[in-house]
Amino acid sequence: MVKAVPCGARMLDLSRPRIMGVLNVTPDSFSDGGQLYRDGRVDTDALLARAEQMLAEGADIMDVGGESTRPGAAAVSEAEELDRVVTAVEALAQHCDTIISVDSSTPSVMRESALCGAGLLNDVRGFQRPQALQAAAESGLALCVMHMQGEPGTMQTAPTYSDVLQDISHFLSRRLADVRSVGIDLDRVIIDPGFGFGKTAEQNFELLARLEVLCNQDQPILVGLSRKSMISAVLDRPPEQRMFASVALALMAVERGARIVRVHDVAATFDALSMWQTTRHALSLSEPS
pLDDT digits (tens, 9 = 90+) for 195-215: 999 999 999 999 999 999 999
Average per-residue pLDDT for the chain: 92
pLDDT at residue 165 tops 90? yes
The answer to whether 144 and 190 have CB atoms below 8 angstroms apart is: yes
* Neighbour tally for 87: CB within 10 Å: 20
Backbone angles phi, psi at 103, to 5 degrees: -90, 95
pLDDT score for 178:
97
Q: Which residues are catalytic?
A: 228, 262
Domains along the chain? 4-286 (3.20.20.20)
Q: Cα separation of 95 and 190, whole Å?
A: 26
Give the pLDDT of residue 31. Answer: 59
pLDDT of residue 120: 98
Residue 222, CA distances (Å) to 57, 193, 217 in order:
19, 8, 13
What confidence tens digit (pLDDT) does each residue in 219-252 have? 999 999 999 999 999 999 999 999 999 999 999 9
Nearest partner of 136 among 7, 270, 246, 250, judged by Cα: 7
pLDDT at 70 over 80: no
Q: Rounded to whole angstroms, how far apart are CA atoms 173 and 141?
A: 20
* The pLDDT of residue 29: 59
Q: Give pLDDT, residue 278.
A: 96
The Cα 282–Cα 289 span in angstroms is 14
Residues 6+ apart with CB under 8 A from 115: none
Confidence of residue 289 (pLDDT cuts 50, 70, 90): low
Beta-strand pair 37-38/18-24: unpaired
Does pLDDT of 179 surpass 90? yes
